[in-house]
């Protein structure tokens, strides 16, 4: 499909990310080594990584104009990180470059047998601190921005950015991969949240996965929706109703989730989405939220095509950023994001397989 036949790019195209960037050293092995083993890699790739770096790269390839606030050192890794981001169209002019220390890097072992990856991360040093981001730079970074995204790192600086973004009424997406220092403060400003499978229950201490979603929306009154990514099992999304829906029928959230899972079409290989009607969703001992529940499926990638899942969650977030800027409804956004993530899993590394907006696999979603 030619770029001329695609729908126009979103007018609201500028997104600002704040978070981690790194260099990934990716080694593919036949199978994960046992303790004290010596094995050989079957392939090796060195490329940029880090949640915010990957998500911003994904957003850029889809047609957005991402800016990124982060920090690297003036070393070979740091120079490579900046060059790669800039080549993909990510604005790095708000980076802090330290003359001392080291840039972040990660060793990634990709197991060809189980199709899993193991990450060993070394943080950058010295860390980014709020004093390094001047008020003028902050205001310039936020100028004209339509969405701000945080991956939970550099929490002190991120909080400064979040407060200013909230003051300017800019929507905020927060990634909640796991509990981190300062994440609670960031979530208080979140308009949207995307979580790992284990985060909602760990954070809320709710007795079940579904009740944890209710608890998150009750604890975070600014939150419009929460998405939980489940890998090959797809994703679950709970969206708060805008008007309150006082006439909506009340239903136990776990029962509704199970009923949606029963009617999803597992025969389809492409990502799909089913949703409830607007409902009063209740969870015993937690409370009630009026909204809609969505169950999204993942693409069934043929084993021969599945190479590496590194960065799949980052690709999903990058696609959600695009979808929100484009005004996609959830029924379209969730399959689109799942397709973008699945496309990236067909190549080694978090960024190698990230699709361009013109990729034939995205045509039906755009």
* 349 pLDDT more than 60: yes
Give a yes or no: residue 244 inside a domain: no
Residues in the chain: 366
Rounded Cα distance, 273 and 296, in Å: 4
- The strand pairing partners of 73, in sequence order, are 98
Does residue 218 lie within any of the structural domains?
A: no
Query: Cα 38 to chain center, whole Å?
Result: 35
**In this structure, is residue 9 part of a structural domain?**
no
Does residue 1 register a pLDDT over 50? no
What pLDDT does 5 receive? 66
Tracing tokens 């790269």 back to the chain, one arrives at: 57
Q: Residue 219 domain-assigned?
A: no
Helix extents (H) in the chain: 51-62, 76-87, 135-142, 155-167, 183-187, 199-204, 209-219, 253-263, 312-326, 330-344
What pLDDT score does 366 carry? 82
Q: What are phi and psi of 97, to 5 degrees?
A: -115, 115
Cα–Cα distance, 302 to 157 (Å, whole number): 42
Looking at the domain assignment, is residue 257 inside a domain?
Answer: no
Q: Which domain holds residue 338?
A: 54-102+127-190+230-234+298-365
Q: What global pTM score does this model have?
A: 0.94
Structural domain count, the chain: 1
- Assess whether pLDDT exceeds 80 at residue 7: no
Burial 72-108 (b: 16+ CB within 10 A, else e): bbebebbebbbebbeebebbbebbbebeeebbbbbeb
Q: What is the pLDDT of residue 246?
A: 62
Tens-digit pLDDT profile for residues 241-286: 987 656 778 999 999 999 999 988 888 899 999 999 999 999 999 9
Residues 266, 270, 271, 274, CA torsion sign: negative
Segments of the chain assigned E as strands: 14-18, 22-29, 43-49, 65-69, 71-73, 96-98, 105-111, 116-122, 147-150, 172-176, 192-195, 225-229, 235-240, 250-252, 273-275, 279-283, 287-296
Answer yes or no: is 338 within a domain.
Answer: yes
Average pLDDT over residues 18-23: 97
Question: What single-letter DSSP state applies at residue 261?
Answer: H
**Separation between Cα atoms, residue 113 and residue 39, nearest integer Å:** 14
Residue 170, domain member (yes or no)? yes
Question: Hey, how many other C-beta atoms are within 10 angstroms of the C-beta on 120?
Answer: 10
Domain-located, residue 325: yes
Half-sphere exposure at residue 197, Cβ-oriented, CA atoms within 13 angstroms: 6
Q: What's 165's domain CATH number?
A: 3.40.1190.20
Q: For 185, what's the count of Cα atoms within 13 Å in the CB-facing half-sphere?
A: 14
When the pLDDT of each residue in the chain is averaged and rounded to a whole number, the result is: 94
The structure tokens 């995307």 sit at 194
């Amino acid at each position: 499909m030619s770029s001329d036949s695609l729908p126009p790019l979103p007018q609201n195209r500028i997104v600002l990310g704040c978070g981690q960037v790194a260099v990934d050293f990716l080694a593919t092995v036949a199978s994960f080594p046992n303790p004290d083993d010596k094995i050989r890699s079957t392939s090796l790739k060195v490329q940029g990584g880090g949640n915010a770096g990957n998500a911003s790269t994904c957003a850029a390839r889809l047609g957005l104009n991402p800016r990124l606030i982060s920090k690297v050192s003036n070393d070979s890794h740091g120079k490579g990180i900046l060059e790669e981001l800039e080549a993909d169209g990510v604005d790095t002019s708000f980076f802090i470059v330290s003359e001392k220390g080291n840039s972040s890097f990660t060793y990634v072992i990709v197991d060809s047998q189980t199709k899993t990856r193991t990450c060993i991360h070394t943080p950058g040093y010295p860390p980014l601190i709020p004093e390094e981001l001047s008020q003028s730079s902050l205001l310039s970074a936020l100028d004209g921005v339509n969405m701000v995204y945080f991956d939970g790192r550099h929490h002190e600086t991120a909080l400064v950015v979040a407060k200013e973004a909230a003051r300017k009424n800019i929507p905020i997406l927060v990634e909640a991969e796991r509990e981190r220092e300062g994440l609670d403060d960031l979530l208080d400003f979140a308009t949207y949240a995307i979580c790992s499978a284990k985060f909602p229950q760990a954070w809320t201490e709710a007795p079940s996965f579904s009740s944890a979603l209710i608890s998150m929306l009750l604890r975070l009154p600014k939150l419009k929706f929460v998405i939980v990514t489940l890998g090959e099992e797809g994703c679950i999304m709970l969206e708060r109703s805008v008007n309150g829906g006082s006439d909506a029928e009340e239903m136990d959230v776990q029962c509704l989730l199970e009923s949606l899972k029963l009617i999803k079409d597992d025969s389809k290989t492409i990502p799909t989405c089913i949703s409830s009607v607007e409902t009063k969703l209740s969870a015993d001992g937690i409370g009630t939220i009026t909204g809609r529940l969505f169950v999204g499926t993942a693409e069934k990638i043929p084993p021969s095509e599945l190479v590496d899942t590194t960065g799949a969650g980052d690709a999903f977030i990058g696609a959600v950023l695009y979808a929100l800027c484009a005004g996609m409804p959830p029924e379209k956004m969730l399959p689109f994001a799942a397709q973008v993530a699945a496309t990236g899993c067909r190549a080694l590394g978090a960024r190698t397989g990230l699709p361009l907006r013109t990729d034939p696999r995205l045509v039906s979603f755009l």
